[in-house]
Amino acid sequence: MNILVVGGAGYIGSHCVRQVLAAGHSVVVLDNLSYGHREAVPAGVTLVQADMADTEKVRRALREHKIDCVMHFAALINVGESVHQPERYRDNNVIRTFALLDAMQAEGVKRFVFSSTCAIFGLPEKMPMTEDLPKKPINPYGENKLEVENKLKELAAAGKIAFAAFRYFNAAGASLDGAIGEDHSPETHLIPLAIAAALGRRPPLKVFGKDYPTPDGTCLRDYIHVDDLSAAHIAVFSRLDKPGTALFYNLGVGKPYSVDEVIHSIERLTGRHVPREYVDRREGDPPALYADASKARAELGWKPKYETLDSIIATALRWHTTHPRGFATK
Protein backbone atom coordinates (compact mmCIF):
# COMPACT_ATOMS: atom_id res chain seq x y z
CA MET A 1 0.00 0.00 0.00
CA ASN A 2 0.95 3.64 -0.38
CA ILE A 3 0.65 5.38 2.96
CA LEU A 4 0.56 9.10 3.70
CA VAL A 5 1.85 9.71 7.23
CA VAL A 6 0.58 13.10 8.38
CA GLY A 7 2.75 14.32 11.27
CA GLY A 8 5.41 11.79 10.25
CA ALA A 9 8.28 14.07 11.27
CA GLY A 10 7.08 13.96 14.89
CA TYR A 11 7.90 11.54 17.67
CA ILE A 12 5.40 8.72 17.19
CA GLY A 13 4.82 9.29 13.47
CA SER A 14 8.52 8.98 12.62
CA HIS A 15 8.76 5.65 14.44
CA CYS A 16 5.70 4.45 12.58
CA VAL A 17 7.17 5.51 9.22
CA ARG A 18 10.10 3.14 9.76
CA GLN A 19 7.83 0.22 10.60
CA VAL A 20 5.56 0.86 7.65
CA LEU A 21 8.63 0.80 5.38
CA ALA A 22 9.92 -2.36 7.06
CA ALA A 23 6.52 -4.00 6.43
CA GLY A 24 7.06 -3.40 2.69
CA HIS A 25 4.71 -0.47 2.10
CA SER A 26 5.66 2.82 0.53
CA VAL A 27 5.50 6.03 2.55
CA VAL A 28 5.14 9.75 1.99
CA VAL A 29 5.34 12.11 4.98
CA LEU A 30 3.32 15.31 5.20
CA ASP A 31 4.27 17.62 8.07
CA ASN A 32 4.38 21.38 8.52
CA LEU A 33 7.48 20.95 10.73
CA SER A 34 5.94 23.21 13.38
CA TYR A 35 7.14 20.68 15.94
CA GLY A 36 8.60 17.87 13.86
CA HIS A 37 12.17 17.31 12.68
CA ARG A 38 13.32 16.86 9.12
CA GLU A 39 16.05 14.44 10.29
CA ALA A 40 13.42 12.16 11.77
CA VAL A 41 12.23 11.34 8.24
CA PRO A 42 14.37 8.58 6.70
CA ALA A 43 16.52 9.39 3.67
CA GLY A 44 14.66 8.44 0.51
CA VAL A 45 11.21 9.13 1.93
CA THR A 46 9.41 12.10 0.34
CA LEU A 47 8.65 14.84 2.84
CA VAL A 48 5.88 17.19 1.76
CA GLN A 49 6.33 20.24 3.95
CA ALA A 50 2.77 21.49 4.26
CA ASP A 51 0.01 22.07 6.71
CA MET A 52 -2.68 19.40 6.73
CA ALA A 53 -5.20 22.17 6.04
CA ASP A 54 -3.40 23.19 2.84
CA THR A 55 -5.97 21.43 0.72
CA GLU A 56 -4.24 21.94 -2.58
CA LYS A 57 -0.95 20.41 -1.43
CA VAL A 58 -2.65 17.60 0.45
CA ARG A 59 -4.82 16.68 -2.53
CA ARG A 60 -1.81 16.77 -4.84
CA ALA A 61 0.14 14.47 -2.50
CA LEU A 62 -2.80 12.03 -2.28
CA ARG A 63 -3.18 12.00 -6.05
CA GLU A 64 0.44 11.97 -7.19
CA HIS A 65 1.51 9.27 -4.77
CA LYS A 66 -1.66 7.18 -5.30
CA ILE A 67 -2.27 7.06 -1.56
CA ASP A 68 -4.36 4.14 -0.24
CA CYS A 69 -4.35 5.03 3.44
CA VAL A 70 -3.73 8.09 5.62
CA MET A 71 -2.22 7.74 9.08
CA HIS A 72 -2.85 10.87 11.06
CA PHE A 73 -0.43 11.79 13.88
CA ALA A 74 -0.44 15.57 13.49
CA ALA A 75 -1.68 17.51 16.50
CA LEU A 76 -0.76 19.98 19.17
CA ILE A 77 -0.18 17.73 22.15
CA ASN A 78 0.39 19.81 25.26
CA VAL A 79 -2.59 19.27 27.55
CA GLY A 80 -1.78 22.21 29.85
CA GLU A 81 -1.35 24.56 26.89
CA SER A 82 -4.72 23.45 25.49
CA VAL A 83 -6.41 24.80 28.63
CA HIS A 84 -4.93 28.27 27.99
CA GLN A 85 -5.25 28.24 24.17
CA PRO A 86 -8.45 26.30 23.45
CA GLU A 87 -9.17 28.08 20.12
CA ARG A 88 -5.69 27.38 18.78
CA TYR A 89 -6.02 23.73 19.79
CA ARG A 90 -9.46 23.29 18.25
CA ASP A 91 -8.32 24.98 15.05
CA ASN A 92 -5.28 22.74 14.63
CA ASN A 93 -6.54 19.46 16.04
CA VAL A 94 -10.16 19.51 14.88
CA ILE A 95 -10.75 22.00 12.05
CA ARG A 96 -7.54 21.13 10.21
CA THR A 97 -8.20 17.42 10.66
CA PHE A 98 -11.62 17.96 9.08
CA ALA A 99 -9.90 19.70 6.14
CA LEU A 100 -7.63 16.66 5.78
CA LEU A 101 -10.68 14.36 5.79
CA ASP A 102 -12.38 16.55 3.15
CA ALA A 103 -9.28 16.37 0.95
CA MET A 104 -9.25 12.57 1.30
CA GLN A 105 -12.86 12.35 0.21
CA ALA A 106 -12.26 14.64 -2.74
CA GLU A 107 -9.49 12.27 -3.88
CA GLY A 108 -11.39 9.06 -3.05
CA VAL A 109 -9.01 7.91 -0.27
CA LYS A 110 -11.01 5.95 2.26
CA ARG A 111 -8.66 4.32 4.77
CA PHE A 112 -7.76 6.35 7.84
CA VAL A 113 -5.85 5.61 11.06
CA PHE A 114 -6.19 8.17 13.82
CA SER A 115 -3.97 8.87 16.86
CA SER A 116 -6.46 9.40 19.65
CA THR A 117 -5.73 9.43 23.35
CA CYS A 118 -6.84 8.03 26.70
CA ALA A 119 -7.58 11.68 27.61
CA ILE A 120 -10.98 11.28 25.92
CA PHE A 121 -12.07 9.29 29.00
CA GLY A 122 -11.36 12.09 31.50
CA LEU A 123 -11.36 10.76 35.06
CA PRO A 124 -12.54 7.17 34.66
CA GLU A 125 -14.09 5.34 37.57
CA LYS A 126 -12.97 1.91 36.49
CA MET A 127 -9.49 0.46 35.96
CA PRO A 128 -8.13 -1.00 33.76
CA MET A 129 -9.79 1.10 31.06
CA THR A 130 -11.83 -0.64 28.38
CA GLU A 131 -13.02 0.97 25.15
CA ASP A 132 -16.64 1.23 26.30
CA LEU A 133 -16.07 3.50 29.32
CA PRO A 134 -17.89 6.86 29.26
CA LYS A 135 -16.07 9.56 27.28
CA LYS A 136 -15.86 12.65 29.47
CA PRO A 137 -12.70 14.60 28.61
CA ILE A 138 -11.69 17.24 31.14
CA ASN A 139 -9.47 19.43 28.93
CA PRO A 140 -9.64 20.91 25.41
CA TYR A 141 -6.99 18.48 24.11
CA GLY A 142 -9.15 15.48 25.09
CA GLU A 143 -12.26 17.22 23.75
CA ASN A 144 -10.51 17.80 20.39
CA LYS A 145 -9.72 14.11 20.01
CA LEU A 146 -13.24 13.06 20.97
CA GLU A 147 -14.72 15.51 18.46
CA VAL A 148 -12.60 13.97 15.71
CA GLU A 149 -13.57 10.43 16.80
CA ASN A 150 -17.24 11.43 16.57
CA LYS A 151 -16.76 12.90 13.10
CA LEU A 152 -15.04 9.69 11.99
CA LYS A 153 -18.00 7.66 13.27
CA GLU A 154 -20.36 9.85 11.24
CA LEU A 155 -18.29 9.49 8.07
CA ALA A 156 -18.02 5.73 8.48
CA ALA A 157 -21.75 5.41 9.14
CA ALA A 158 -22.31 7.17 5.81
CA GLY A 159 -19.96 4.64 4.15
CA LYS A 160 -17.43 7.34 3.30
CA ILE A 161 -14.39 5.96 5.13
CA ALA A 162 -13.03 2.96 7.03
CA PHE A 163 -11.06 3.96 10.09
CA ALA A 164 -9.28 2.84 13.23
CA ALA A 165 -8.83 5.17 16.21
CA PHE A 166 -6.12 4.19 18.68
CA ARG A 167 -6.36 5.67 22.16
CA TYR A 168 -2.73 5.78 23.18
CA PHE A 169 -1.71 5.77 26.81
CA ASN A 170 1.76 7.21 27.61
CA ALA A 171 4.02 6.84 24.58
CA ALA A 172 7.65 6.31 25.58
CA GLY A 173 11.00 4.92 24.42
CA ALA A 174 12.98 5.30 21.21
CA SER A 175 13.99 3.21 18.22
CA LEU A 176 16.15 0.21 19.13
CA ASP A 177 19.08 1.43 17.01
CA GLY A 178 19.04 4.80 18.79
CA ALA A 179 18.65 6.74 15.53
CA ILE A 180 15.40 8.51 16.40
CA GLY A 181 13.68 9.31 19.67
CA GLU A 182 11.64 11.80 21.63
CA ASP A 183 12.49 15.48 21.13
CA HIS A 184 9.54 17.66 22.04
CA SER A 185 10.01 21.34 22.62
CA PRO A 186 8.96 22.19 25.23
CA GLU A 187 9.21 18.73 26.76
CA THR A 188 6.43 17.86 29.19
CA HIS A 189 6.75 14.06 29.38
CA LEU A 190 8.06 12.41 32.51
CA ILE A 191 10.67 10.00 31.12
CA PRO A 192 12.69 12.50 29.02
CA LEU A 193 12.47 15.09 31.80
CA ALA A 194 13.66 12.63 34.45
CA ILE A 195 16.51 11.36 32.23
CA ALA A 196 17.61 14.95 31.53
CA ALA A 197 17.55 15.72 35.26
CA ALA A 198 19.65 12.60 35.99
CA LEU A 199 22.19 13.63 33.35
CA GLY A 200 22.40 17.15 34.80
CA ARG A 201 20.89 18.76 31.73
CA ARG A 202 17.79 20.12 33.38
CA PRO A 203 16.77 21.43 36.78
CA PRO A 204 15.42 18.96 39.34
CA LEU A 205 12.33 17.10 38.25
CA LYS A 206 9.03 18.28 39.71
CA VAL A 207 6.90 15.37 40.94
CA PHE A 208 3.29 16.47 41.20
CA GLY A 209 1.70 14.85 44.26
CA LYS A 210 2.99 12.32 46.79
CA ASP A 211 -0.34 11.85 48.55
CA TYR A 212 -2.35 9.91 45.97
CA PRO A 213 -4.13 6.72 47.06
CA THR A 214 -1.45 4.58 45.33
CA PRO A 215 1.20 2.30 46.91
CA ASP A 216 3.94 4.99 46.99
CA GLY A 217 1.67 8.07 46.81
CA THR A 218 2.65 9.07 43.24
CA CYS A 219 0.47 8.74 40.12
CA LEU A 220 0.23 5.48 38.20
CA ARG A 221 0.45 5.52 34.40
CA ASP A 222 0.68 3.01 31.56
CA TYR A 223 3.89 3.46 29.50
CA ILE A 224 3.86 1.97 26.03
CA HIS A 225 6.82 1.81 23.65
CA VAL A 226 6.47 3.86 20.42
CA ASP A 227 7.43 0.83 18.37
CA ASP A 228 4.59 -1.14 19.97
CA LEU A 229 2.16 1.65 19.10
CA SER A 230 3.48 1.57 15.54
CA ALA A 231 3.08 -2.21 15.32
CA ALA A 232 -0.64 -1.83 16.05
CA HIS A 233 -0.93 0.56 13.08
CA ILE A 234 0.59 -2.05 10.78
CA ALA A 235 -1.70 -4.76 12.19
CA VAL A 236 -4.85 -2.74 11.48
CA PHE A 237 -4.35 -2.03 7.73
CA SER A 238 -5.86 -5.24 6.49
CA ARG A 239 -9.08 -4.48 8.40
CA LEU A 240 -9.79 -1.22 6.64
CA ASP A 241 -10.89 -2.60 3.29
CA LYS A 242 -14.60 -1.96 3.71
CA PRO A 243 -15.90 1.62 3.93
CA GLY A 244 -18.14 1.79 6.97
CA THR A 245 -15.64 0.02 9.23
CA ALA A 246 -15.18 1.86 12.54
CA LEU A 247 -12.60 0.43 14.95
CA PHE A 248 -11.56 1.72 18.37
CA TYR A 249 -8.70 0.34 20.45
CA ASN A 250 -7.11 1.33 23.74
CA LEU A 251 -3.37 0.89 23.42
CA GLY A 252 -1.32 0.40 26.55
CA VAL A 253 0.68 -2.41 28.13
CA GLY A 254 -1.89 -2.67 30.91
CA LYS A 255 0.67 -2.62 33.71
CA PRO A 256 0.72 0.63 35.67
CA TYR A 257 3.95 2.13 37.01
CA SER A 258 4.21 5.01 39.46
CA VAL A 259 6.21 8.19 38.93
CA ASP A 260 8.59 7.01 41.67
CA GLU A 261 9.02 3.66 39.90
CA VAL A 262 9.96 5.51 36.70
CA ILE A 263 12.51 7.54 38.65
CA HIS A 264 13.96 4.42 40.33
CA SER A 265 14.24 2.66 36.97
CA ILE A 266 16.22 5.61 35.56
CA GLU A 267 18.44 5.65 38.65
CA ARG A 268 19.08 1.91 38.31
CA LEU A 269 19.88 2.12 34.60
CA THR A 270 22.06 5.25 34.74
CA GLY A 271 23.66 4.70 38.16
CA ARG A 272 22.80 8.36 38.85
CA HIS A 273 20.45 10.11 41.21
CA VAL A 274 17.40 11.87 39.69
CA PRO A 275 17.31 15.24 41.49
CA ARG A 276 13.67 15.92 42.30
CA GLU A 277 11.24 17.98 44.23
CA TYR A 278 7.83 16.74 45.40
CA VAL A 279 5.23 19.48 44.89
CA ASP A 280 1.43 19.72 45.12
CA ARG A 281 -0.83 17.69 42.87
CA ARG A 282 -1.66 19.14 39.46
CA GLU A 283 -5.32 19.83 38.84
CA GLY A 284 -6.97 17.15 36.72
CA ASP A 285 -4.33 14.42 37.19
CA PRO A 286 -6.15 11.19 38.05
CA PRO A 287 -4.35 8.87 40.52
CA ALA A 288 -4.21 6.02 38.01
CA LEU A 289 -4.71 5.54 34.27
CA TYR A 290 -4.01 2.20 32.64
CA ALA A 291 -5.40 0.31 29.71
CA ASP A 292 -7.22 -2.90 29.19
CA ALA A 293 -5.83 -3.58 25.71
CA SER A 294 -7.32 -7.06 25.40
CA LYS A 295 -9.48 -5.96 22.44
CA ALA A 296 -6.39 -5.00 20.38
CA ARG A 297 -4.66 -8.19 21.47
CA ALA A 298 -7.59 -10.39 20.48
CA GLU A 299 -8.71 -8.69 17.26
CA LEU A 300 -5.39 -7.51 15.82
CA GLY A 301 -3.17 -10.29 17.19
CA TRP A 302 -1.12 -7.41 18.60
CA LYS A 303 1.06 -7.78 21.66
CA PRO A 304 3.54 -5.27 23.09
CA LYS A 305 7.16 -6.39 22.80
CA TYR A 306 8.26 -4.09 25.59
CA GLU A 307 6.36 -5.18 28.66
CA THR A 308 8.63 -3.89 31.41
CA LEU A 309 9.39 -0.31 32.30
CA ASP A 310 13.18 -0.96 32.32
CA SER A 311 13.09 -2.29 28.75
CA ILE A 312 11.25 0.82 27.54
CA ILE A 313 13.43 3.27 29.45
CA ALA A 314 16.64 1.58 28.27
CA THR A 315 15.80 2.55 24.66
CA ALA A 316 14.97 6.13 25.69
CA LEU A 317 18.27 6.36 27.57
CA ARG A 318 20.25 5.25 24.54
CA TRP A 319 18.65 8.01 22.46
CA HIS A 320 19.09 10.75 25.06
CA THR A 321 22.71 9.88 25.84
CA THR A 322 23.74 9.73 22.18
CA HIS A 323 21.67 12.81 21.22
CA PRO A 324 22.13 15.19 24.14
CA ARG A 325 20.56 18.06 22.18
CA GLY A 326 17.95 15.94 20.42
CA PHE A 327 17.74 16.40 16.67
CA ALA A 328 20.16 18.93 15.21
CA THR A 329 17.57 21.33 13.80
CA LYS A 330 15.07 23.02 16.08
Positions marked catalytic: 141
Taking CB under 6 A as the rule, does residue 207 contact ligand NAD?
no
Residue 243 phi/psi, 5° resolution?
-55, 140
Taking CB under 6 A as the rule, does residue 92 contact ligand NAD?
yes
Q: Residue 247, SS3?
A: strand
Residue 16 Cβ, how far from ligand NAD at the closest point, in Å?
Answer: 9
Q: Is the peptide bond before 215 cis (omega within 30 degrees of 0)?
A: no
Contact 232, 298 (CB under 8 A): no
Nearer to ligand NAD by Cβ, of 94 and 205: the residue is: 94
Taking CB under 6 A as the rule, does residue 194 contact ligand NAD?
no
Nearer to ligand NAD by Cβ, of 13 and 140: the residue is: 13
**Between 131 and 150, how does the x/- string for binding to ligand NAD read (CB under 6 A)?**
--------------------
Cα dist. 214→173, 195, 219 in Å? 24, 23, 7
Judge residue 187's burial from the number of C-beta atoms within 10 Å of its C-beta, 0-12 exposed, 13-18 middle, 19 or more buried: middle
Residue 226 Cβ, how far from ligand NAD at the closest point, in Å?
Answer: 8
Taking CB under 6 A as the rule, does residue 74 contact ligand NAD?
yes
Q: For ligand NAD, which residue of 18, 90, 96, 295 counts as binding (CB under 6 A)?
A: 96
Stretch that binds ligand NAD, among 30-38, 123-131, 300-308, 321-329 (CB under 6 A): 30-38
Q: For ligand NAD, which residue of 61, 77, 104, 313 counts as binding (CB under 6 A)?
A: 77
Contact 124, 291 (CB under 8 A): no
Taking CB under 6 A as the rule, does residue 13 contact ligand NAD?
yes
Taking CB under 6 A as the rule, does residue 326 contact ligand NAD?
no
Contact 48, 70 (CB under 8 A): no
Taking CB under 6 A as the rule, does residue 103 contact ligand NAD?
no
- What whole-number distance in Å separates Cα of residue 28 and Cα of residue 17? 9
Instruction: Output Rg (C-alpha) for the chain, integer angstroms.
Output: 19
Report how far Cα 317 is from the mean position of its chain's Cα atoms: 19
- What whole-number distance in Å separates Cα of residue 99 and Cα of residue 86? 19
Nearer to ligand NAD by Cβ, of 117 and 139: the residue is: 117
Which residue ranges make up the site for ligand NAD (CB under 6 A)? 7, 9-13, 31-36, 51-52, 73-75, 77, 92, 96, 115, 117, 168, 170-171, 184
